[in-house]
Structures are given as structure tokens and as C-alpha cells.
């Protein structure tokens, strides 16, 4: 074999040189050379196997060619030598420097080079499993020799493909050495590179987790509260494992719990007081922070937890600025360390509410453990669409407009050619598109979606304009449509061409009971997903599971639904108010509508030409239909609390206040709600022609409203500007009959509404009024107290010109918003 190698090398080399000299192709020469190399390598492998199985030989040497050379020098060699220096004699160190000397072996660093025996190189021990099997006995048998073997990789498990939520790593594997493995984070990254909303689902169900109630206490309150939590959870018979109660101060090393975790299915409930003086918690928080910033620690070690939640105790009266600040910090750092918040942070003032609130929080937590809804882990506020204002949006249809496809004939019957289909079948592109946008499609024609304001209010970051104008609690409001189809295709619609359009109902009909039950389920499941979002206020979160208001708008035309009246009555039976928005294209349905809490009609333009341009209605007699609707409001429906809703689009419908005043005269609404359009993104594919240039600034909306009101007053119509929500570019003009004794009463007394409704007596909008609070009045901005205003970054789609403009103005368009 050796002779062959030498002679072979020389002759192959000579042949190749001759071949090239006579004009042979370099690539072919290279192939021959490589082939020869592989052949020699395999031959070497065979020799090495023999060496391993022969202790005799092992003492003297180790590899093929080197073996031969080694005999001359009496030494040995490592594979490393193959790579580089060649030469006779001994083995090389990693860098191949030890080319001579008697006997030898190499370690990884080449230092242990003495001895006449032999050794294995690092490469031998790690290459593959077969080699490992050979190497281990070799080392055992070589124990008489001064051999160093690097075992680092010998017992390493083959890497497994991970999917879903990362698994728990054992203590040994990860963090004691503070060299944990980076766990992959499942995030939805947008084109802009930002993390979008992501849902997490735990590997373990919450009920099969091992709960650790961890607390710290100076004066006993937190210790008592922790016991309450512990007792309550222990009594939860569905829980598989009995919870454990631990004092944080008793832990010898926080890393055992906050870098490593004590069990694969660990779930932490922390009960923490706050002290503005030095206390043991300071060290705990410092440790969390240090670990989060320590590059040696796995970036997300607490991903190993099934989840966590924090209950903070404090005193909001004496320490308003620092109320529960340490619990908040713990909550923050644990989430930074990868913890998955399964329930909102509790903040309890022990001076005012104390034990009752602790019980409440604990009961809610216990309830939450019973379901395993996915939890939003990352939350991207910018990912929310601008569907916040409840326009009765209309739409084009990517399947094609359906007005011409058929439907009912003149007698209102379905033509035989048309079998009755589902409006939005589960396998349709429309369904996919809607669900992709965050809608829950209920049955085959209804939809529900949690709006941005509902989320904002849950997080104490502001409420929608209907809070300022009418007293709606955004966190208890469900936005729903029983008809995803519409009879217009408004230019400002934000549904991006996903919902079907039609003049009439021509689909399968779902029962109202079914829609309401499943809409509530869908809404609550979306609320539940919010429980992991930072800043969710536990109290609001709890109340959000009792929907109080229903905005019948979203996309589509709710009044198209054949059982709309029954649906509204079902809402009322459940104590849910009804805010019904319609597009003034269905006078018959409007005439027959039952009592609702507030009845809207959209007035998207004041003249026939402009209305056609803005609404792009399907009906040819769209103008006459709208006029008829206005007259119905003034007559048949004049007991209702009626609202004209104007959506201002620059360049489309902001010019003619006089023509608007004509319409007000026809319809005599109680209120006129004026709102600047919001930008609904690109017009790709849905024929939406709007750009940011069409979005009015708040100053422009105010100017319009002032001119409009002046025109109404000039005509002897008693209207005035009552309230505002500057953040939404929204203002309310009200009939002055709502100004009672000099004070505006645009808010609604919802309890009174239900009392009146249930009495069975006739009543009007004047019977359930409430005073408009000071902060909501025009001139005061309309930002609801109890929320913290957050200044949001501009959206990526915003055009530069508008950004500049907004930054120089006191208000901005709704997209550049101050929230």
C-alpha cells in the first residue's frame, strides 16, 4: 500500500504534468487528481481501523502514511499532519509545528507531546458516531500512556429539529455554565423587518403544569396573599400537580429558578410587594436584570417556563408614583427573559382594596388556567388595521362583483339557475383573506374582530371616540357584522377588497342565536389572547368578558341580514347595547328596524355626483334611496337616537357644507358625527384611490365642522359643536336640545336604556341621556381619564410630506396620531 502511494503519486503527477503540457484540459486533470486523493484517503482509513484493533500497533503508531514514516522516526503522527507539513518523524500539534522528535502524540493544543506512544487526534473523537464508538475503548486501553483526549463532543446528542415552543433544557445542559442554547423564537417578521404579532401555544397545558407560588414579604401581606393564591390553586381539582409555595428569600441561588427552571412544566406565580427603601427584592430584580443583559446567559432562558404571572401589592395612596413598581419591574424582566405571561399583572392597593381584590385576581387566574387559548407573545400595535371607527364598510369582491351574477328576481325569489350558496365559504379566498386580516368569520356570512381601541383600553392607552362622544366602554365593545357583504364600495373602506358586494341578500342564512353565541365566543377568545400583552389592566381584562356594547358595523352592511331585528333583540336580552350603522341604501329595512340604542346613517357625500364618486354604490337609484332613508329617520324612526356619520375625504366630499345642510334638514338627526377618513393602506388590487393626500388634518376637520355648523345655524337649525375626540379626528355636532340647562348631554345612560326597553313602554332618545363630562367637551381634546397617552411612531406607509406637516401642527391626521 505504501509503495503504491509513493510510486502512484509520482506516476500520477508525471502523467498529469505531461497531459497538461500537451494541451490537456485542466478540469480533467483536476478530476483525476481528486479521484486519486479520495482513493488514497480510503486506503488510509482501512489502515487506521487496523491500528485501532491492534493494541500492539497502537503503541507505536497511528496512521497510514505517517505510520510508515513513523517507523523511521520511531514516533507517530496525527491526522493534522496530513493537512499540512508532511515530513517524517512525529505527529503534529494543531498547527503542525512539531514535525520531529521521538515518539509523540498530540493534544488539541499540542502541548502534551511526550511519550513514545500514540494518540488520537481531536478529529477522530468527534467526526461521527462510528468513530466515537472506536475511540472510547482506545482511550481506556491506553490508560498507561500520558494521553489527553478531548471528550467535549463525544457524548453530544445528535441535534434534534425543534418545532413549536422550545423544550426545557436540563440544568446540566444549559445554564449552570451560563452557556445556554439560544432557543428559537417564533416571530412573525414583516417586510419592514418589524416583529409582528405572534401567538404562542405552550407544550404543556396550564393545568398539567407545576405551579410555583413565589413570594417576598417584609411585613407579611405578600406572604398572606401568596398563601391565598396557593390555597385557591391547590383547591383547583382540575390541576394535576399540587402547587408549591416558596419564599424567594429562601432560595440560595436565584439562577436555579430564573436561568434554569426547577421542572420541565414549571409555571410561576409571583406575589411581590414594593418598597422604595432597600429590601431583598432589590437584589432579586437586579439579578433578573443582570441575567437579561448577560451575553453568557441564553437570551430567553425563561422560555422554558410554561408561563408566569405577577401579583403586585402596594399602596397607591402613599406611593402613587411608585405604586407596585417592583412588581411591574419583575413582570418586565421575566418577560424580557422569555417568560410567557399567562395572566395580566395584578396591581393591588392594600390600603384601599386589599384582600377582596386579591381573591378576585386569584379566581380569575384560576379560571384562566382552565383554558389553553393561544397567547399573544409579541404585540405589534402597528399591525392593527384602522378599522377602529366602525364604518359600515362596503366592498369590492376579488371574486368579482356579484350584482350581475344573479340573485333574487323581481319577485324576491331566487332564480332557479342560482342555487343558494354560502356568502363566505370556508375554502374561499375571501375567507382566507378575512381570517388573515384577523377576522373571525362566524357561520358563513358574519364576522367579528377585536378593534384597536378595545385593545388600547385594555392596556390603559386610550379609548375610542365613542367613549368621548357617547360613553361607550371600548374594552367591553364587540365589533360585529352579520353581513360581510355590502351594496357599496366606498373609497375609504379599509377591508382591501375582501368582502363580497351585492344589492340583495342571496345566500344561506345563519340563525341569529347561532351568530351571537359564536360571535361572543370569537370575541372572547381574541380578548383572552390579550392576557399576555404587557400593560393589560387586570380589572378591565376581567370586565371585557362581559360585552356591554355591540358596534354593528365592521365591514359589510348589517341591515342586509334578513334577521337583523331578531339579532338586535337578542343583544338587548343579554344587556348589550346596539349601535347600528347603515349605508342609507336599504330604505325598506331601515323603515322596519326595531329600537336600537343608536341608529347611524352614513352620509358620505352631500350631492349625487360626489356620492357616486365616494361610495361607488351598486344601486342605480342610490341617491333616491339615500334621500328616502333620511326621510324615514325624520318620520317613522324619529323615536330613535339618530346620527349622521360623515367621513371626510379631502378632494372628495369636503367642499359643500350647504348641500350637507340640505340633508340635515331632510333627516333631522339628533347628532352629526364628523370624522376624518383614516388611511387604509395601499390601494393594491381593490381600486381604492385614496392616498395620504386625501386624509384631512384635524385642523381641516375643525374648520369644516365650524363652517357646517354656521350654515345650519344660519338656516335656523339648532345645532352646535358639542364634543370631540381629537386623536381620531372626530367631532360631534349635536342638536341643541341635548344642551340641557347649558350643559351638553350627549352621553348615554345605558342602564336607563335597558330599564325603559324592558318596561315595554314607548320612549325616545331624550329619556336615556347622561351629561357629557368636561374632558370630552369640544375644546378639551376628549382623551378619557384613566388612560395614559402614548405617542406612537409614524407608520411606515405615511408619506413624508404629511409627516412633516403633522409634526409642525398641534394635531395630526389620525394616521400620524397622538394616542
**Residues 304, 440, 466, 572: which binds ligand SF4 (CB under 6 A)?**
466
Q: How would you classify residue 374: left for phi > 0, otherwise alpha for psi between -120 and 50, otherwise beta?
A: beta
With binding defined as CB under 6 A, does residue 353 bind ligand FMN?
Answer: no
Contact range with ligand FMN by CB under 6 A, out of 21-29, 211-219, 609-617, 739-747: 211-219
Identify which of residues 106 and 481 has a Cβ nearer to ligand SF4 in the complex.
Answer: 481
Give the length of the chain.
Answer: 819
Going by their DSSP bridges, the two strands 671-676 and 730-735 should be labelled as antiparallel
- Sequence-distant (6+) residues with CB within 8 A of 170 are none
Cα distances from 739 to residues 634, 707, 747, 770, 780, in angstroms, run: 20, 20, 11, 11, 17
Shortest reach from residue 235's CB to ligand FMN, in Å: 23
With binding defined as CB under 6 A, does residue 451 bind ligand SF4?
Answer: yes
With binding defined as CB under 6 A, does residue 73 bind ligand FMN?
Answer: no
Burial of 326 by CB count in 10 Å (0-12 exposed, 13-18 middle, 19+ buried)?
buried
Distance CA 533, CA 541 (A): 11
**Residues 14, 41, 170, 219: which binds ligand FMN (CB under 6 A)?**
219
With binding defined as CB under 6 A, does residue 48 bind ligand FMN?
Answer: no
Cα distances from 114 to residues 104, 111, 231, 454, 507, in angstroms, run: 5, 9, 67, 75, 89
**Residues 60, 428, 474, 483: which binds ligand SF4 (CB under 6 A)?**
474
What nine digits make up the cell of 710? 354656521
**Residues 210, 274, 444, 812: which binds ligand FMN (CB under 6 A)?**
274
Binding residues for ligand SF4 restricted to 538-577, rule: CB under 6 A: 551
With binding defined as CB under 6 A, does residue 314 bind ligand FMN?
Answer: yes
Shortest reach from residue 664's CB to ligand SF4, in Å: 23
**Residues 215, 275, 431, 453: which binds ligand SF4 (CB under 6 A)?**
453
Handedness of CA 580, 583, 584, 585 (dihedral sign): negative
Shortest reach from residue 289's CB to ligand FMN, in Å: 18
**Residues 222, 342, 441, 547: which binds ligand FMN (CB under 6 A)?**
222
Which does residue 313 bind out of ligand SF4, ligand FMN, none, counting CB within 5 to 8 angstroms by kind?
A: ligand FMN
Shortest reach from residue 550's CB to ligand FMN, in Å: 38
With binding defined as CB under 6 A, does residue 323 bind ligand FMN?
Answer: yes
Please, are residues 648 and 704 in contact by the beta-carbon 8 Å criterion?
yes
The H or E element that residue 234 is part of is: helix 221-234
With binding defined as CB under 6 A, does residue 281 bind ligand FMN?
Answer: no
Identify which of residues 378 and 391 has a Cβ nearer to ligand SF4 in the complex.
Answer: 391
Binding residues for ligand SF4 restricted to 386-445, rule: CB under 6 A: 388-390
**Residues 259, 472, 527, 664: which binds ligand SF4 (CB under 6 A)?**
472
Please, are residues 271 and 212 in contact by the beta-carbon 8 Å criterion?
no
Which does residue 390 bind out of ligand SF4, ligand FMN, none, counting CB within 5 to 8 angstroms by kind?
A: ligand SF4
Identify which of residues 92 and 602 has a Cβ nearer to ligand SF4 in the complex.
Answer: 602
Q: How would you classify residue 560: left for phi > 0, otherwise alpha for psi between -120 and 50, otherwise beta?
A: alpha
With binding defined as CB under 6 A, does residue 322 bind ligand FMN?
Answer: yes
Angle between helix 221-234 and 355-369 (nearest 10): 30
Identify which of residues 335 and 728 has a Cβ nearer to ligand SF4 in the complex.
Answer: 728
Cα distances from 347 to residues 274, 499, 546, 595, 688, in angstroms, run: 10, 42, 21, 41, 46
Identify which of residues 333 and 679 has a Cβ nearer to ligand FMN in the complex.
Answer: 333
Which does residue 474 bind out of ligand SF4, ligand FMN, none, counting CB within 5 to 8 angstroms by kind?
A: ligand SF4
Distance CA 435, CA 424 (A): 11
Angle between helix 657-667 and 622-634 (nearest 10): 50
Identify which of residues 248 and 570 has a Cβ nearer to ligand FMN in the complex.
Answer: 248
Look at residues 444, 185, 477, 193 and name the one whose alpha carbon lies nearest to residue 337. 185
Identify which of residues 308 and 465 has a Cβ nearer to ligand SF4 in the complex.
Answer: 465
Contact range with ligand FMN by CB under 6 A, out of 125-133, 315-323, 370-378, 499-507: 315-323
Contact range with ligand SF4 by CB under 6 A, out of 146-154, 320-328, 425-433, 449-457: 449-457
What nine digits make up the cell of 103? 515518539
Handedness of CA 643, 497, 194, 441 (dihedral sign): positive
Which does residue 466 bind out of ligand FMN, ligand SF4, none, counting CB within 5 to 8 angstroms by kind?
A: ligand SF4
Shortest reach from residue 355's CB to ligand FMN, in Å: 11
Rounded-to-5 percentages of helix, strand, coil across the chain: 40, 15, 45
Shortest reach from residue 318's CB to ligand FMN, in Å: 7
**Residues 210, 265, 454, 772: which binds ligand SF4 (CB under 6 A)?**
454
Q: For residue 656, give the DSSP letter.
A: -
Compute the radius of gyration of the chain from its Cα atoms.
Answer: 37
Shortest reach from residue 347's CB to ligand FMN, in Å: 8
Shortest reach from residue 449's CB to ligand SF4, in Å: 9
Identify which of residues 360 and 749 has a Cβ nearer to ligand FMN in the complex.
Answer: 360
Identify which of residues 233 and 536 has a Cβ nearer to ligand SF4 in the complex.
Answer: 536
Q: Which residue has the cell 396557593?
A: 230
Which does residue 512 bind out of ligand SF4, ligand FMN, none, counting CB within 5 to 8 angstroms by kind?
A: none
DSSP SS3 for 198: strand
Handedness of CA 516, 517, 521, 527 (dihedral sign): positive
Please, are residues 652 and 605 in contact by the beta-carbon 8 Å criterion?
yes
Contact range with ligand FMN by CB under 6 A, out of 255-263, 273-281, 293-301, 592-600: 273-281
Handedness of CA 659, 665, 666, 670 (dihedral sign): positive
Q: For residue 381, give the DSSP letter.
A: G
**Residues 61, 464, 629, 648: which binds ligand SF4 (CB under 6 A)?**
464
What is the DSSP secondary-structure string of 297-344?
A: S-S-GGGGSSEEEEEEEE-TTT-STTTTHHHHHHHHHHHHTT--B-SP
In 593-728, alpha helices (H) = 608-615, 622-634, 657-667, 698-714
**Residues 76, 261, 313, 576: which binds ligand FMN (CB under 6 A)?**
313
Burial of 230 by CB count in 10 Å (0-12 exposed, 13-18 middle, 19+ buried)?
buried
Shortest reach from residue 267's CB to ligand FMN, in Å: 22
In 90-157, alpha helices (H) = 122-126, 129-141
Which does residue 388 bind out of ligand SF4, ligand FMN, none, counting CB within 5 to 8 angstroms by kind?
A: ligand SF4
Identify which of residues 233 and 732 has a Cβ nearer to ligand SF4 in the complex.
Answer: 732
**Residues 192, 238, 276, 282: which binds ligand FMN (CB under 6 A)?**
276
Identify which of residues 120 and 454 has a Cβ nearer to ligand SF4 in the complex.
Answer: 454
* Residues near ligand FMN (CB under 6 A), total: 21
**Residues 275, 379, 541, 719: which binds ligand FMN (CB under 6 A)?**
275
Shortest reach from residue 688's CB to ligand SF4, in Å: 20
Which does residue 275 bind out of ligand FMN, ligand SF4, none, counting CB within 5 to 8 angstroms by kind?
A: ligand FMN
Identify which of residues 273 and 667 has a Cβ nearer to ligand FMN in the complex.
Answer: 273
The H or E element that residue 620 is part of is: none
With binding defined as CB under 6 A, does residue 785 bind ligand FMN?
Answer: no
Query: Where do contacts with ligand FMN occur on this chain (CB under 6 A)?
Result: 217-223, 273-277, 313-315, 319, 322-325, 350
Q: What is the binding site for ligand SF4 (CB under 6 A)?
A: 388-390, 451, 453-454, 464, 466, 472, 474, 477, 479, 551
Amino acid at each position: 500500500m505504501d509503495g503504491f502511494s509513493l510510486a502512484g503519486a509520482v506516476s500520477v503527477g508525471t502523467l498529469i504534468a505531461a497531459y497538461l503540457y500537451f494541451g490537456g484540459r485542466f478540469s480533467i486533470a483536476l478530476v483525476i487528481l481528486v479521484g486519486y486523493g479520495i482513493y488514497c484517503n480510503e486506503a488510509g482509513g482501512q489502515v487506521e481501523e487496523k491500528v485501532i484493533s491492534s493494541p500492539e500497533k497502537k503503541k507505536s503508531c497511528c496512521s497510514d502514511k505517517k505510520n510508515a514514516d513513523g517507523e523511521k522516526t520511531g514516533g507517530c503522527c496525527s491526522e493534522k499532519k496530513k493537512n499540512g507539513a508532511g515530513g517524517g518523524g512525529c505527529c503534529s500539534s494543531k498547527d503542525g509545528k512539531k514535525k520531529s522528535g521521538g515518539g509523540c502524540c498530540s493534544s488539541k493544543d499540542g502541548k502534551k507531546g511526550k511519550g513514545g506512544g500514540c494518540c488520537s487526534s481531536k478529529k477522530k473523537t468527534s467526526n461521527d458516531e462510528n468513530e466515537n464508538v472506536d475511540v472510547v475503548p482506545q482511550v481506556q486501553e491506553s490508560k498507561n500512556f500520558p494521553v489527553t483526549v478531548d471528550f467535549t463532543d463525544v457524548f453530544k446528542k445528535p441535534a434534534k429539529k425543534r418545532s413549536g415552543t422550545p423544550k426545557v433544557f436540563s440544568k446540566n445542559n444549559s445554564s449552570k455554565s451560563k452557556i445556554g442554547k439560544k432557543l428559537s423564537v417564533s416571530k412573525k417578521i414583516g417586510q419592514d423587518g418589524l416583529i409582528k404579532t405572534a401567538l404562542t401555544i405552550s407544550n404543556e397545558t396550564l393545568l398539567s403544569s407545576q405551579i410555583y407560588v413565589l413570594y417576598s414579604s417584609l411585613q407579611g401581606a405578600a406572604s398572606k396573599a401568596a398563601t391565598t393564591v396557593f390555597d385557591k390553586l391547590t383547591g383547583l381539582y382540575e390541576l394535576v400537580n399540587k402547587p408549591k409555595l416558596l419564599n424567594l428569600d429562601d432560595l440560595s441561588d436565584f439562577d436555579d429558578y430564573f436561568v434554569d427552571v426547577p421542572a420541565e412544566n414549571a409555571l410561576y406565580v409571583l406575589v411581590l410587594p414594593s418598597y422604595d427603601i432597600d429590601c431583598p427584592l432589590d437584589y432579586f430584580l437586579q439579578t433578573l436584570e443582570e441575567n437579561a443583559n448577560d451575553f453568557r446567559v441564553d437570551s430567553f432562558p425563561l422560555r422554558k417556563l410554561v408561563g408566569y404571572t405577577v401579583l403586585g401589592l402596594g399602596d397607591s395612596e402613599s406611593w402613587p408614583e411608585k405604586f407596585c413598581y417592583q412588581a411591574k419591574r419583575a413582570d418586565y424582566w421575566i418577560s424580557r427573559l422569555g417568560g410567557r405571561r399567562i395572566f395580566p399583572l395584578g396591581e393591588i392597593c392594600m390600603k384601599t382594596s386589599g384582600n377582596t381584590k386579591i381573591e378576585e385576581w386569584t379566581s380569575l387566574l384560576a379560571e384562566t388556567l382552565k383554558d389553553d387559548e393561544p397567547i399573544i407573545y409579541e404585540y405589534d400595535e402597528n399591525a392593527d388595521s384602522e378599522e377602529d371607527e366602525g364604518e359600515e364598510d362596503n366592498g369590492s369582491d376579488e371574486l368579482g362583483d356579484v350584482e350581475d351574477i344573479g340573485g333574487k328576481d323581481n319577485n324576491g325569489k331566487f332564480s332557479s339557475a342560482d342555487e343558494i350558496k354560502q356568502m363566505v365559504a370556508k375554502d374561499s379566498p375571501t375567507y382566507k383573506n378575512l381570517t388573515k386580516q384577523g377576522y373571525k368569520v362566524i357561520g358563513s356570512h358574519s364576522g367579528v374582530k377585536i378593534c384597536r381601541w378595545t385593545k388600547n383600553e385594555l392596556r390603559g392607552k386610550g379609548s375610542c371616540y365613542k367613549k368621548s362622544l357617547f360613553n361607550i366602554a371600548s374594552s367591553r365593545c364587540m365589533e360585529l357584522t352579520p353581513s360581510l357583504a355590502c351594496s357599496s364600495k366606498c373609497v375609504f373602506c379599509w377591508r382591501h377588497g375582501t368582502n363580497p358586494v351585492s344589492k340583495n341578500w342571496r345566500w344561506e342564512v345563519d340563525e341569529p342565536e347561532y351568530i351571537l353565541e359564536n360571535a361572543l365566543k370569537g370575541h372572547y377568545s381574541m380578548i383572552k389572547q390579550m392576557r399576555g400583552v404587557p400593560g393589560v389592566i387586570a380589572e378591565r381584562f376581567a370586565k371585557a368578558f362581559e360585552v356591554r356594547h355591540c358596534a354593528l358595523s365592521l365591514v359589510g352592511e348589517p341591515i342586509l341580514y334578513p334577521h337583523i331585528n331578531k339579532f338586535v333583540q337578542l343583544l338587548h336580552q343579554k344587556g348589550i347595547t346596539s349601535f347600528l350603522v347603515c349605508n342609507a341604501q336599504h330604505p325598506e329595512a331601515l323603515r322596519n328596524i326595531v329600537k336600537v340604542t343608536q341608529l347611524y346613517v352614513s352620509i358620505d357625500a352631500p350631492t349625487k355626483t360626489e356620492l357616486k364618486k365616494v361610495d361607488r354604490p351598486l344601486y342605480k337609484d342610490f341617491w333616491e334611496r339615500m334621500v328616502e332613508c333620511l326621510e324615514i329617520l325624520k318620520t317613522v324612526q324619529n323615536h330613535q337616537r339618530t346620527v349622521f356619520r360623515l367621513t371626510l375625504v379631502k378632494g372628495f366630499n369636503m367642499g359643500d357644507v350647504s348641500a350637507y345642510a340640505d340633508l340635515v334638514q331632510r333627516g333631522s338627526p339628533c347628532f352629526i358625527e364628523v370624522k376624518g377618513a383614516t388611511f387604509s393602506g395601499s390601494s393594491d388590487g381593490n381600486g381604492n384611490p385614496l392616498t395620504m393626500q386625501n386624509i384631512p388634518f384635524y385642523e381641516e376637520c375643525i374648520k369644516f365642522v365650524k363652517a357646517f355648523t354656521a350654515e345650519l345655524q344660519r338656516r335656523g337649525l339648532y345645532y352646535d359643536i358639542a364634543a370631540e375626540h381629537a386623536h381620531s379626528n372626530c367631532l360631534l355636532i349635536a342638536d341643541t336640545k341635548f344642551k340641557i340647562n347649558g350643559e351638553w348631554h350627549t352621553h348615554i345612560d345605558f342602564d336607563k336604556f335597558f330599564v325603559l326597553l324592558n318596561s315595554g313602554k314607548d320612549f325616545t332618545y331624550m329619556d336615556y341621556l347622561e351629561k357629557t363630562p368636561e374632558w370630552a367637551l369640544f375644546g378639551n381634546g376628549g382623551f378619557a381619564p384613566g388612560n395614559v397617552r402614548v405617542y406612537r411612531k409614524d407608520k411606515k406607509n405615511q408619506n413624508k410630506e404629511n409627516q412633516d406637516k403633522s409634526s409642525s401642527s398641534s394635531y395630526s391626521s389620525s394616521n400620524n396620531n397622538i394616542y
